[in-house]
Structure 1
Amino acid sequence: MKNIIFGIHPIINMLKTNPFSFKKIFILNSKKKSTKIKELFFYVKKYKICICKVTKKWLDNKTNNSMHQGCMGFLNKLTYFKEKNIMDIISFSKKILILILDRITDPHNLGACIRSAVAFDVNMIILPKKYSAKINATVKKVSCGTSDNIPIIFVKNLVNIIKFLKSLNIFIIGTDNNLINNTIYNYKLKYPICLIMGSENKGIKSIIKNNCDILLSIPTFNNVNSLNVSVATSIFLFEINRQNYIF
């Protein structure tokens, strides 16, 4: 399921931003021509993308019975970024905002984090090769196709990458739900920044915390001690953007 994307909104979003990534698009043969379907056909015709009408059984089989909404796209082989590309991305960036995701194994959470990262102009996302969800069709659907709009790099050792980023004077912000006074609203956060988010249950590893410049939390109320990682990621990224831009 690496080279497919399904769902009407993710497909239209990718048609708008990266139409030449499609090899073919498959549409349910009984699909009614709604406004969104008409929009999809507009881009298909504009970029001369091959389209095939198929049965629901065929779509169910190809998407592992996922919520495909009657359409699926087959993508060209994707080009993945590697560790050696990190310095290149930093060199060509006007401002530095990097997101590291530690132990995010749920593809729905990963997809939502990617969508927020693109929305808040993150330069790249770095993940560990082990204990991380991979970029599959579910991630693409939840991210609304934005996973192809940002460099995503899987690395062998997060600690080594963090040390490398620190050597470039990039400020490393770790997150910790157990902190009371060290909240994101109490500190002035200026670029260059690397934000590290951990899983909802385990957070970021202790060894990673020890290599952060600061640990911050989001203040919550009514005995709610933690937030979904994608929600927390959005809050952190928004606050960093808010402090560095005038809206």
Structure 2
Amino acid sequence: MAGTAKPRGAARSSSKKGPTGGTGGKNKRRLEGKGPTPKAEDRPYHAAAKRKKAAEKKVSPRTRTGRSERPKGEIVSGRNAVLEALRASVPATELIVARSIDVDDRVAESLQLALHHQLPIREVHRAELEGINANSQGIILAIKPYQYSSFQEITERANHPILIVALDGVTDPRNLGAIVRSAAAFGAAGVVMTERRAAAMTASAWKSSAGAAARLPVAQVTNMARTIDDAKKLGCFVIGLDGESDETLSGMKVAKENVMIVVGSEGKGLSRLVREKCDLVVSIPMRATTESLNASVATSIALFWVDEQRRK
């Protein structure tokens, strides 16, 4: 009859709920061993992971490998300072220049000197350079750490009669460099100074030495009083410089013997223990009523006087 025929392909559904078959434990096994859900940035197709990957691409290879970190040792920054250091042939490891730097005469000469000394030149982003030193003016020179000698090495290379300069707390690196220069000029075997509370052989000291630091050994010692005792065992007559001493340099009669000249700090002079260890403490006679001489000037005068006596 019309309207009673079933559509072709249709199936009659039953409203009765009969028993259904189980999965046999498959669903349970499927959920085992999955572990915790990975972080969003660790899922390759997640938006967070894509953002992380894009951020890593923006970081320069030098930054990731540590090339843009602060150089080891001392640095000289600024156009004038870098140029002066290169002119003085201060030992350096590399010249670091900001990209798109405004090249003036100082920068141009610095680059030429670096090429002449076969010094590596590295270009970095200005932000990286300012991260090393904010006042770099776009150029930085990395300095090699100074290689100190030992007191024993100085005495072994000394000619006879021995002449050694010892610094008891000299804190100005320019004074240190000038003393090294004078010591080399007047035939001293080397310069000895304390490790603590004293100037070190920085780029400033190297420049003041006018290259003498490359020829004359400089030693650091932990205890100056003990070093004076060691010098005495080698037969050295220890002479301290002090502007308040009544004994003058001109009255010293031991210039032709083995001599160690001890110079005190710019302000306090010789420390108490070092002064007591000296065999003789002398001053430099002056006509004008000047309080004292610069440490490097006083040392130069004393060295000249000893050298002059030995020449005679």
Partner of 1:22: 92
Partner of 2:308: 242
Sequence identity (%): 28
Distance 2:248 2:137 in 1: 41
Residues 182-209 of structure 1, C-alpha deviations (whole Å, 9 max, x = no match): 2212224124211000023311122212
Alignment of 1:11 with 2:61, yes or no, is: no
Q: CA deviation at 1:60?
A: 8.5
Distance 2:210 2:245 in 1: 33
Alignment of 1:88 with 2:156, yes or no, is: no
Partner of 1:18: none
Structure 1 moving runs of 4+ over 4 Å: 26-34, 40-47, 52-65, 68-72
Q: CA deviation at 1:136?
A: 2.7
TM-score under structure 1 length normalisation: 0.75
Unaligned residue ranges in structure 2 (runs of 5+): 1-71
* Stretch of structure 1 that moved more, 51-60 or 86-95: 51-60
Q: CA deviation at 1:173?
A: 0.9
Residues 48-92 of structure 1, C-alpha deviations (whole Å, 9 max, x = no match): 322357899998986785xx999753234443324xxx2233122
* Partner-residue secondary structure (3-state), 2:176: helix
CA gap of 1:24–1:130, structure 2 versus 1, over 3 A, is closer
Distance 1:99 1:31 in 2: 44
CA gap of 1:13–1:136, structure 2 versus 1, over 3 A, is closer
CA RMSD of aligned residues (A): 3.5
Alignment of 1:139 with 2:205, yes or no, is: yes
TM-score under structure 2 length normalisation: 0.61
Q: Residue type matched to 2:293 in 1? A: L
Residues 149-201 of structure 1, C-alpha deviations (whole Å, 9 max, x = no match): 43222212111110111011012111121123x22122241242110000233
Q: Residue 48 of structure 1 is aligned with which of 110, 118, 125?
A: 118
Distance 1:69 1:222 in 2: 45
Partner of 1:130: 196
CA gap of 1:113–1:61, structure 2 versus 1, over 3 A, is farther
CA gap of 1:144–1:62, structure 2 versus 1, over 3 A, is farther
Q: CA deviation at 1:117?
A: 2.5
Alignment of 1:219 with 2:285, yes or no, is: yes
Residues 15-54 of structure 1, C-alpha deviations (whole Å, 9 max, x = no match): 6xxxxx43223579555558xx76x767644543223578
Residues 123-168 of structure 1, C-alpha deviations (whole Å, 9 max, x = no match): 2221122221233333334334543443222212111110111011
CA gap of 1:11–1:238, structure 2 versus 1, over 3 A, is farther
* Partner-residue secondary structure (3-state), 1:14: coil
CA gap of 1:179–1:89, structure 2 versus 1, over 3 A, is closer
CA gap of 1:88–1:81, structure 2 versus 1, over 3 A, is closer
Quick check: which one's strand share is greater? 1
Residues 77-116 of structure 1, C-alpha deviations (whole Å, 9 max, x = no match): 443324xxx2233122224221111121233333332333
Partner of 1:199: 265
* Stretch of structure 1 that moved more, 3-12 or 131-140: 3-12
CA gap of 1:108–1:127, structure 2 versus 1, over 3 A, is same
Q: How many residues align?
A: 233
Q: CA deviation at 1:9?
A: 4.1
